[in-house]
Structure 1
Amino acid sequence: MSTVTVQGVAGEERNDFSKEESRQIRRRSLRLLGSLMRPLRGKVMWALAVIVISTLAQVIGPTLIGIGVDQGISALTSQNWWPIALTGAAYLMTGIVGALTVSWYTVQSARISQAILLDLRKRVFLHTQRLSLEFHESYTSGRIISRQTSDLDSIRELLDSGINQLVQGVLYSGFIAVFMFINDWVSGLILFCSLVPLYFLTRWFQKRSQVLFRHSRVASAKLIVHFVETMTGIRAVKAFRKEKRNEKEFGDLVEDYRDVNAKTIQLFGIFDPGLVMIGNITVAVVLLVGGFRVASGALPIGVLLAVLLYTRRFFDPMEEMAMFYNSYQSAAAALEKISGVLEEEPSVPDPVRPVDLWQAKGHVNFDDVTFAYKSDRVILPEFTLDVPAGQTIALVGSTGAGKSTLAKLIARFYDPTKGSVTLDGVDLRDLHPKDLRRAIVMVTQEAYLFSGTVADNIALGKPDATDDEIRAAAVAVGADEFIQGLPDGYETDVNKRGGRVSAGQRQLISFARAFLANPAVLILDEATSSLDIPSERLVQDALLTLLKDRTALIIAHRLSTVAIADRVLVMEHGKVVEDGTPADLIAGTGRFAQLHAAWRDSLV
């Protein structure tokens, strides 16, 4: 099967799509463009009408000059100033009309392009935010950032200048061709013949530039992805001394990008002189043929002057239209990638007929649940579990046993492949999203803090919380003391990603955030891993109070955290191999007893 080079869309950057896939991608991009343009159809049509008038006013100038030469100058010999005066006035009026309409069109087209960009930027943000966790775990942050930055910038460049160049260039050249034939059909025929070499030169340029521009987009995207991921993971880079390797990898990417751009410049180095040569040869032929005809009296001198001006002007927009093709290729590749993201559907869709659950009790049930990620490797095979409301369960097991997967299913980050997960008898797939997020809160190992104050971050799950409620939540988890010690207390800006506070303090703030949200089900996924021993003990004291009468799922390798649970589940290969109270399991001879003994020995 023959293939063409196109820009990658969701997931991977690819350049090996089949022709049928490429056609589907183009149709998808056109659908997106059509949906963006649809609300602006009236403004676009009005802008097109204005630019037609503006171009016509600019193009009529050489014809007026020809009339002035042929009729105005001859009339001057008999002291008749009116023909030349009227021609000059008409030329001046067309100039004024052309300038005013171009000015209006420029402003109006800018407003249209900004409206399209605003709509598209909001669509990308809202849609990527709506997509499920599965998408974000497979689609790197660098690619998402590239969609919002370089790709949208490419589309902005096309809308801001490229479209204007194309519309004005096409209209300008089209009107010139019409006026050429009106003034002198022979010269118009010569101009028409020049389109043959112009067509072949343009097709040669298009075929080669299409590949190069798309390669340039891929190289640019790889640069951005590498840079973003390096800066995002700078701690790992420093810890593993990866600077030299990054330097080489980034250097290779820069070289690839430079090589592609160098080839593009070489392409323009042939195309631009080719345009100039065709234009000069055409002007020379029109002058030569027209000169003989003027000498024989078959063509007025003013008409020759007019067609020479038209011939020269005909080729002026060609280079700008070639630059439009540059912008178009870049923007088309960007639009393909953005449309790919916007075509992604959430793997965890909102229910069509949501069921309300205003006051959740916290009864969680797994009914014959089977779950597998996209790799088709089954993580939970026919899993059944009943968690009564108000019970605290600790999940223990080796890495890959399915503990975090279980937590993600309860939080509905993923849906079961088979079976169902219910909350108070309501399938999570049918539960209203607002009720689901209010009823179930998950605190992960990564305590992410957003830019803003400490109070803002604690109130994330309850934006209308009072200062007293925020502080009470912090006191409950033992975070109040260190927060009071910050420069501005609860109004202290945590800086980007919580850089002003330590890892343990970030975790305490995330605990306060979860407790303030007051969920019916609280999931702690390795949430105490960043805490030191004193802080962990303080949090455990708070947990004993705050988890009372609340369903809780605790995933922890630290068995000290497990001690506060009502029930311990030991998992292996997606199955529960032990189930009981901490005391009963410790007293036995099973897997948990061995883990507990090893943990106690490690403390000696």
Structure 2
Amino acid sequence: MSVTGVQGEERDDYNRVESAQIRRRSLRLLGSLLRPVRGRVALTMIVVVISTAAQVAGPALIAFGIDRGLPALIDNDAMPLVFTVAAFLTTAVVGAALMAWYTVLTARISQAILIDLRKRVFLQTQRLSLDFHENYTSGRIIARQTSDLDSIRELLDSGVNQLVQGILYMLFIGVAIFVLDWRSGLVLLGALVPLAVLTRWFQQRSQRLFRQSRVASARLIVQFVETMTGIRAVKAFRKEKRNEKEFGEVVEDYRQVNGRVIQLFGIFDPGLVLIGNIALAVVLLVGGLRVAGGGLAVGVLLAAMLYTRQFFAPAQEMAMFYNSYQSATAALEKISGVLEEAPSVPDPVKPVDLWKAKGHVVFDTVTFAYTEGRVVLPSFSLDMPAGQTIALVGSTGAGKSTLAKLMARFYDPTEGEVTLDGISLRKLHPKDLRRAIVMVTQEAYLFSGSVADNIALGKPEATKDEIINAAKAVGAHEFIENLPDGYETDVNKRGGRVSAGQRQLLSFARAFLADPVVLILDEATASLDIPSERLVQNGLQTLLADRTAIIIAHRLSTVAIADRVLVMEHGQIVEDGTPEDLIAGTGRFAQLHAAWRESLV
């Protein structure tokens, strides 16, 4: 066998193993979702069994009425016919009432499962580490919470009903027709052979197509979300025509996949009807000949034909179930993958408490790489005494932001340790870590809600006076008071009602209220103009007082307030000293400072 053939077999084996693992993962998730509602599921099953039995009884009662009731009525005995009519009406009412109850029960079960699953996905996506969100696009996460959960909802709301009712209906009909006339039952049994072949053909092709449909749907959502999220860049670079072409291609892929699904049903549905009609014709032919010969009662033949006709109706509904099932299975596979994703920065098993941190941070021979083989920090060491303000400068890609992310424990070092007051961040209790170390980024993200709510994010239990004092401390109180509703002003989506400088001041007020012992400012003033930066600088002076601080900045005006400057290149510190000492020297920082001064002239 050729090497290519061996590799192909190995790849097929790997795909089979991976598919089996995905199925087991999905089944574990489904089992965990059903476990809390298993009592209601059991009750629902009892109700649907009784309801289906009541519905299936109709043709058998009709046969009894024709073959026994009508002859008795001719002999002036109306009781058998009255009994048949009463029994028929009773089973109809019981069947309808139980079906209504069954519908309510299944709806409650499906909603309970969906609420549980939706919460799990939301909590899991919050729990996962930063690297997951940097690699897993927001559009894909939105697809998990929207289209994928909708597919599962459709399956639970109607698909399962169709499956359970269909299976029970076909089973009960099969039993009833054999009890009435076993020869007609054999005809129906023979019809199951082409039905099974057709169904298997449909399953094999639909499984592949529905997976393709889920992928195409997710791509469509990702394309739309990314376009709307980056609408400013779209407008700025006149990307509308390119987006129209790209989105058109994605939509066309989605249309083609759905077109192939419709073609598949265009063969399957008529095939079911054809098999059902042929079976009905054979039952009529065989039964009619026997009626003519006196070997079969007319009522039994009519009941056998009704049962044969009814037998294939659930098969069509179960085909629609398979539609929902394939879509929901693909969705469940994707959701289970997210839910089984392990955080790359796990919480400690036995956390160490640090009730009152001082702010002494140490990088002890830290090596870090985002991906294997691409080291950003090679054997990095740094001692940051408590209360010191340190500025990090250097070219893009030097490792400054990586250093900040390690301090905030968004990532863990590949090797070495980062410690706070002598305790490794890996062992520190998460609540103590988040209370002790706060990071303010360039984005200065504001959530929908009031100004006060956004400041209180740093301390949810804060009083109104504490919120106002925090705003005053960083110089934000005056502009907040001038807003339409002051501190109760809704900032709109992403803080659209306030300027970039004002958003940054609000993020500083948030950090001030949180009162961390270590504060990280990652390019916190990079997006500001000069007047806004000066406004923010006043807030910075108050914000950095009496705490350990790291300032990452390209603007050297921000660096001037630091006690110590570290110049980084290629993940290493190449200069370390006070701003004044480094400016007076001839090193990298002196060159940067001279270039900055010239740019101001």
Report the TM-score range of the alignment, normalised by the length of the smaller protein. over 0.9
Measure, in 1, the Cα distance between the counterparts of 2:8 and 2:39: 41
Q: Is residue 90 of structure 1 aligned with residue 87 of structure 2? A: yes
Q: Spell out structure 1 runs of 4+ moving beyond 3 A.
A: 1-5
Q: Give ranges in structure 2 of 5+ residues lacking alignment.
A: 1-6
Corresponding letter in the other structure for 1:112: I
TM superposition score normalised by structure 1:
0.97
Corresponding letter in the other structure for 1:422: T
Equivalent runs, 1:115-514 vs 2, <5 Å: 115-514=112-511
**CA offsets, 1:516-566, max 9 Å, x none?**
111000000000112222332233233333322210000000001101100
Q: Give ranges in structure 1 of 5+ residues lacking alignment.
A: 6-14
Measure, in 1, the Cα distance between the counterparts of 2:223 and 2:15: 27
Range 333-342 or range 84-93, more displaced = 84-93
Measure, in 2, the Cα distance between the counterparts of 1:71 and 1:282: 27
Corresponding letter in the other structure for 2:528: L
DSSP 3-state at the match of 1:368: strand
| Displacement after TM superposition at 1:301 (Å) | 1.0
| Displacement after TM superposition at 1:17 (Å) | 7.4
Paired position in structure 1 for 2:549: 552
Paired position in structure 2 for 1:586: 583
Measure, in 2, the Cα distance between the counterparts of 1:572 and 1:129: 33
Q: Is residue 603 of structure 1 aligned with residue 600 of structure 2? A: yes
Measure, in 1, the Cα distance between the counterparts of 2:539 and 2:203: 68
DSSP 3-state at the match of 1:88: helix
DSSP 3-state at the match of 2:371: coil
Measure, in 1, the Cα distance between the counterparts of 2:86 and 2:373: 78
Q: Is residue 577 of structure 1 aligned with residue 574 of structure 2? A: yes
| Displacement after TM superposition at 1:94 (Å) | 0.7
| Displacement after TM superposition at 1:468 (Å) | 2.0
Corresponding letter in the other structure for 1:224: I
Answer yes or no: is the 8 Å Cα contact 1:66–1:306 preserved in 2. yes
Answer yes or no: is the 8 Å Cα contact 2:501–2:535 preserved in 1. no
Measure, in 2, the Cα distance between the counterparts of 1:339 and 1:187: 46
Measure, in 1, the Cα distance between the counterparts of 2:297 and 2:532: 98
| Displacement after TM superposition at 1:214 (Å) | 1.1
**CA offsets, 1:431-485, max 9 Å, x none?**
1111101100000011100010011101101112122221222122222222112
Measure, in 2, the Cα distance between the counterparts of 1:590 and 1:2: 58
Range 294-303 or range 122-131, more displaced = 294-303
Q: Is residue 34 of structure 1 aligned with residue 49 of structure 2? A: no
Measure, in 2, the Cα distance between the counterparts of 1:381 and 1:569: 16
Measure, in 2, the Cα distance between the counterparts of 1:46 and 1:346: 39
Measure, in 1, the Cα distance between the counterparts of 2:147 and 2:78: 59
**CA offsets, 1:4-60, max 9 Å, x none?**
99xxxxxxxxx9971211111011000000000011111111110110000001001
RMSD (Å), alpha carbons: 1.5
Measure, in 1, the Cα distance between the counterparts of 2:88 and 2:575: 94
Answer yes or no: is the 8 Å Cα contact 1:2–1:19 preserved in 2. no
Paired position in structure 1 for 2:64: 67
Instruction: Determine what percentage of the aligned residue pairs are the same residue.
Output: 77
Q: 1:356 to 1:158 in 2, by over 3 A?
A: same
Answer yes or no: is the 8 Å Cα contact 2:367–2:375 preserved in 1. yes
| Displacement after TM superposition at 1:374 (Å) | 2.1
Q: 1:295 to 1:3 in 2, by over 3 A?
A: farther
Paired position in structure 2 for 1:8: none
Corresponding letter in the other structure for 1:241: R
DSSP 3-state at the match of 2:228: helix
**CA offsets, 1:252-303, max 9 Å, x none?**
1111111111111111111111111111111010000001101111111111
Aligned residues: 595
Answer yes or no: is the 8 Å Cα contact 2:523–2:552 preserved in 1. yes
TM superposition score normalised by structure 2:
0.97
